[in-house]
Structure 1
Amino acid sequence: MRIRVPTVILSLVVASAVYAAPVTPNPSHLEKRGWAADQLEKLFTKAISTLECGACVAALVGAKDIAYLNKNWVLSAVTGLCKQFKIMPEDVCTGLVYSQGPVLINAVMQANLLSGDGKIICHQILGACPAQGVTSGALSFPKPKPVNIQPPTHSGNLIDVLHLSDWHVDNEYVVGAEGDCNRPLCCRKYADSPLNPKRPASTWGDYKCDSPIKLGVDLLKFVPKVANISFSILTGDVPPHDIWLQTKESVVIVEEIAYNTMQEGLATKVYPTVGNHETGPV
C-alpha cells in the first residue's frame, strides 16, 4: 500500500488538534527528524495520562498511520513512554516493546479502529474504553457433523496418564534473590538487584517468580510414588515469563532443557504440544 506523507500528516494534525497542542507540520522535518513520532508521543502521553477513550483511540489511529511510514517510529515512541512513565524498568520496556511490538503493530494495522476495534483494544490495554458487547455471527464448519457415530467399545483396562501443563521452570532461578522485584519475573540476579533482599526467594519458589529447577525435578520424582503412568502429555507453556528477554534461540534452549529433564525424570514417553509461550509474541 502506498501512503502519501501529507495524508498521514493530516490525520495526525486532526488528532492533535483535539488531544495535543497545535503544531505546524513540516514534511522535511518528518523525514529527517521524526516529526510524526513526536506527534505520536504526544497522543500516547494524553491517552496514558487521562485514560480517556477518545484519546486512546486517537493514539491508535496515529500509530496506525505512522506504522505505514515507519514501524520503528511507533516502537520508539512506545518505548520512550514506557520509560518516561516508569511503567517498567528501562531494559524491560525496550525488550518487551521490540520483541512483542512488531506483531501487535501488524494487528493494529489490520484493525478497523473507528468501527469498534479501537475501543476493544483500548479497553484491553488501558481500560480506557467501556467493554464492548459481544457481536453475534454465524460459524461455519468445513463439513457437516457426523451422524450415527458409535463410540468404541471400552476394553475395561484403565491406565494412568500424567498431564503436565505450564511447566514454566526458570533455569535462572536463584535461591535468596529478591522475590518482590520491580520486574515481571523475580527470583533472579539482575544488574540492579539489592544486596539484601527484602523477600529472599525460597527453595521452592515465590509468588512473583517461576518455579525453580528443584521443584520441577522433585515433582517428577514424586509421580511414580502415587501413580503407575503409561505415558505423559505436555500441553505447552514451557519457557519462563521473561518475555522481554526471549528470542527464538533462547526458547529452543529452554525447551531442550525441559524435555531432557522430563526424559530423565519419567520412565514413559512424553507427548508435547506448544502453548502461547512457545511463540512470539506471547
Structure 2
Amino acid sequence: MLFAVVALSLVAFARAGETSLALGSPTYVAQGVFPTEAFASYYNVPTLTDEQPQPVITNVLTGKVFAAGLTDPKNIPVNDTSDPRTYPPALLSTDAAGPLVQNAFNQIVNIANLNNSGWGNNCSRCLAGLEVAKAVALVTPESIPTLAVNLCNYFKFSTTCQNTYGPLALGQVLAQVLAAADVAGYDGQNICNNFVSGFCPLPPPSPLNMTGYFAKPKPANAVAPPPSGQRARVLHISDFHLDARYATFAEANCTSSLCCRANNPNSHSLNQVLLPAPRYGWFTCDTPYDLALAALQAIPAVTGTEGSGFDFTIFTGDLVSHDPENELSQTYVEYTETVLYDLYKKYLGSGPIYAAIGNHDSYNQAEDAPALLGTQLGQANLSTQFSWNYDTLSTLWENNDWISSDVAAMAKAHYGAYSVARPDGLRIITINTDLWYKANYFNYINMTKSDPSGMLRFVADELQEAEDAGERAWIIGHVLSGWDGSNPLNNPTNLFYQIVDRYAPHVIAGIFFGHTHEDQFQIFYANNATNISAASAGAVAWIAPSITPLTNLNSGFRMYEIDAVTFDILDAHTWYTNISATASLDNQTAHGPKFVYEYSTRQAYGKSISWPASAPLNATWWHKVTEEFEQNPALIQQFTTYQGKTSVLSPNCTSAACVAAKICYMRSGSGPIGKTCTQGFGSVQ
C-alpha cells in the first residue's frame, strides 16, 4: 500500500511531463543493535538493551570532555552552581536587604488580599504588586529570587517554587526584567495577563511604526517566477529534543514533567513502575539515543539520498530535552548542541544544514535578552549574557562547513541568527524567535516597541538585499508567528506579517517553523488579511513535525521537493514511526522501529483542486485547500490525523467548532490574527 502511494505520486508527475525525484524505500526498519560507530567512545557499553548509550563528548569551544555525571540517568545533577548568575547593579547589599524583602512581601500579600469592592480590581492590584517588586529589584536585585519563591509558595503558584524561581533557576532573570520593565504600564499589563492567571486583559497591539523598515516600495510586478522544471531535495527536521538522561524502564507514566527519568516516578505508585519506559521512546518522553539514531539512519534510506545527501537541510530548532529548570545548565545545552550537530553531519550527507535557535536551545530555557538591556540597566555584561550560546552554535556550524566565517561572525552578533546568499540564487535567513516567544521573560521589557532587539529590521534588510539582487529567500525560525496565537507575542509578529506582505510572493519562496511538534501550516495575506482570498494569499509557513514523540505524538520528519531555480515547494513527503509499537522492541536486537511513508502533501490535499501539475504548493494553493476544507469538513479529520503524525492518541476533529477553528488557524500568520480564532483546537496533544 505504501509503495503504491509513492508510485502514484511518481506517475502523476510523469504524466505532466516533469521528472519527479525518486524516493527511497517506502519503509525503513532500524537495526536492533545500537550503531556504535556513531561515537568514538562511550562511558558504558552502548549495545546494552536495558540502558541508553552514554557517549564521550568533547566541548567544541573548550576542548574539554563533558563529564559522565552530566548525563548520568541514575543521578541527574541539579542546581548547577558553576553557571554565571547575572544581576543588575545593587544599591543595597543582600545581607542588609532582609527587612526590605519582608516588607515587600507583606505589601504584596496585603494588596492581593484587598477586597475588590474596597480597592481596585485584579489588574490594578497585580500592577501595584509588580511596582513593589520592581522597587526591590532596583535596590537589591539579588533578593528577588527570595521574594519570588516566598510569593510563589504563599499563593501556591507552583509545587516547585525554589527549583523554578530560585537563584539557581529563573531568579536572576526576574530581577533583570523587573528592574527594566515598565511594570505600571503596557509591560506590566502583559506580564499580569500572561504570568498571573490573566489578571489583566491582554492589551491591544501597539500602533505599528514602519519607518525605516522598507527602503523601497513594493514593485508593481511583484510576482513569483515561473517554474523551471528542475527539482532538488531539501530535508526539514525539527524539535529533536534529545534526552541524554533517558532511563530505559523508568516510569513512562509519571505524574508530571518529563517522564522516562529515573528521578520522576508516578506519585501514586512510588514503589512500582506502572509503565516501563521503552528503549525506543514513549509518548510522554523526549527522544532517547536509540530512537535518535534510528531516525537519523532512516532519513537517507527513505528519502532516496543515500550516498548523495540533500541539496541542503533546514533545522527549525529545539535540540535540548524538556528538563525542569533546576536540572538544566549551560553545560547541558552545550553538550546537546555538540552531539546533535555532529550526528547531523555524520548521517545526513554532504549538503549544508541551516539551523535556527529553538526556545529549548538556550539557558535559561526560552530566555534571550536584547543587547540594549545592558545599556538600560547600566551593566555591560547584561548585553552579552547569552553570547556563550551564540559562540558555541556558530562555531559548530562553521566547523561543519555549513556557513562561512563571515556568516558565523554575523550569527554571533545577531542572537544566533544569520543570512546566507547561496550561489544558486537562494538567500537563507534564520531568525531567533525567542525574541517574539511569549515565554521569554525578557520580551516583557519595552513591549510597546515591536522590534526592540532589531531582529526584524535585520530580516527586512536582508529581504531588500535579496530583492535588489534578484534572489529568492527562505525564512527559517522556530516559534511560529501565528496559528492559534497562543505562542507568539502580538507586536513583533504583527510587524513580521507586514514584512512578509511587502516581500511576498516575488522574494519569499518559503517560511518554515517548528515548535508545536505538529504538522501544520499558516497562510499570510495582503493588507493584514483584511481580504482573505486566493487572490490575496502571498506566502505560506510550513510547520514541521517533530522527532520527539512528546506529547502523545509519533516521531516524524519531512522532505521537500523544490524547484531548483525558483525554490518554490512542489511537494512535501512525510514519514513517521509508530511510537505505540516501541514497547514490543525492548530486550531484543533483531530490529528496531519501522519508519513508514505517511503522505504526499500534493496527493493528500490537491485531488479536488484545479491546479497545474507543474505549479508550486504556494499560498494560493493552500488557500484553495482551506476552501476545500470548508466545502468538505471531513477532510479536516484527515488533516488532524497528519497533524499528530498518525498517532493513536490524537483526538478527532469532527465538530463544526473544531473545523471552523482550524481553518481560521490556517489563515493566521500573526499573533493578533490567530487570537481572533476560537481557541482550544490548536493542538492534538
**What is the TM-score when the length of structure 1 is the normalising length?**
0.75
SS in 1 for 2:327: coil
CA deviation profile, 1:104-141 (whole Å, cap 9, x unmatched): 43233222222232221011002222222233232230
Cα gap change, 1:105 to 1:180, in 2 (>3 Å): farther
**Structure 2 equivalent of residue 202 of structure 1:** 278
Cα gap change, 1:99 to 1:143, in 2 (>3 Å): farther
**Structure 2 equivalent of residue 241 of structure 1:** 322
Q: Does 1:160 align with 2:233?
A: yes
SS in 2 for 1:277: coil
**Structure 2 equivalent of residue 24 of structure 1:** none
- Using the TM superposition, give the Cα deviation of residue 253 of structure 1 relative to its aligned residue in structure 2, in angstroms: 0.9
More helix by percentage? 1
Counterpart CA distance in 2 for 1:268 and 1:233 is 13
Tell me which stretches of 4 or more aligned residues in structure 1 moved more than 4 Å.
1-5, 43-51, 148-155
Name which of 316, 329, 336 aligns with 1:254. 336
Counterpart CA distance in 1 for 2:98 and 2:186 is 29
Task: Map residues 52-71 of structure 1 onto 2, 5 A cutoff.
Answer: 52-71=122-141
Letter in structure 1 aligned against 2:179:
M
Letter in structure 2 aligned against 1:76:
T
More strand by percentage? 2
Letter in structure 1 aligned against 2:206:
T
- Using the TM superposition, give the Cα deviation of residue 66 of structure 1 relative to its aligned residue in structure 2, in angstroms: 0.4
Counterpart CA distance in 1 for 2:179 and 2:240 is 34
**What is the TM-score when the length of structure 2 is the normalising length?**
0.34
Counterpart CA distance in 1 for 2:102 and 2:110 is 13
SS in 1 for 2:320: coil
Cα gap change, 1:37 to 1:210, in 2 (>3 Å): same
Counterpart CA distance in 2 for 1:58 and 1:99 is 25
Name which of 168, 173, 186 aligns with 2:259. 186
Structure 1: 5+ residue runs without aligned partners? 6-29
Moved more, 188-197 or 42-51: 42-51
SS in 2 for 1:160: strand
Letter in structure 2 aligned against 1:196:
Q
Counterpart CA distance in 2 for 1:3 and 1:79 is 20
Cα gap change, 1:168 to 1:45, in 2 (>3 Å): farther
**Structure 2 equivalent of residue 273 of structure 1:** 356
- Using the TM superposition, give the Cα deviation of residue 161 of structure 1 relative to its aligned residue in structure 2, in angstroms: 1.1
SS in 1 for 2:231: coil
Letter in structure 2 aligned against 1:232:
T
CA deviation profile, 1:6-60 (whole Å, cap 9, x unmatched): xxxxxxxxxxxxxxxxxxxxxxxx9735112113333555688899333322221
Q: 8 Å contact 2:239–2:318 — kept in the other structure?
A: yes
Counterpart CA distance in 2 for 1:258 and 1:150 is 39
Q: Does 1:131 align with 2:213?
A: no
Counterpart CA distance in 2 for 1:61 and 1:126 is 14
RMSD value, Cα: 3.5
**Structure 1 equivalent of residue 560 of structure 2:** none
Q: 8 Å contact 1:43–1:55 — kept in the other structure?
A: no
**Structure 2 equivalent of residue 32 of structure 1:** 96
Task: Map residues 109-120 of structure 1 onto 2, 5 A cutoff.
Answer: 109-120=179-190
Moved more, 145-154 or 220-229: 145-154
**Structure 2 equivalent of residue 11 of structure 1:** none
- Using the TM superposition, give the Cα deviation of residue 188 of structure 1 relative to its aligned residue in structure 2, in angstroms: 1.0
- Using the TM superposition, give the Cα deviation of residue 153 of structure 1 relative to its aligned residue in structure 2, in angstroms: 6.7
Q: 8 Å contact 1:178–1:188 — kept in the other structure?
A: yes
**Structure 2 equivalent of residue 79 of structure 1:** 149
Q: Percent identity?
A: 25
Counterpart CA distance in 2 for 1:143 and 1:108 is 36
Count, aligned residues: 258
Counterpart CA distance in 2 for 1:250 and 1:62 is 35
Task: Map residues 37-48 of structure 1 onto 2, 5 A cutoff.
Answer: 37-43=101-107, 45=109
Moved more, 143-152 or 66-75: 143-152
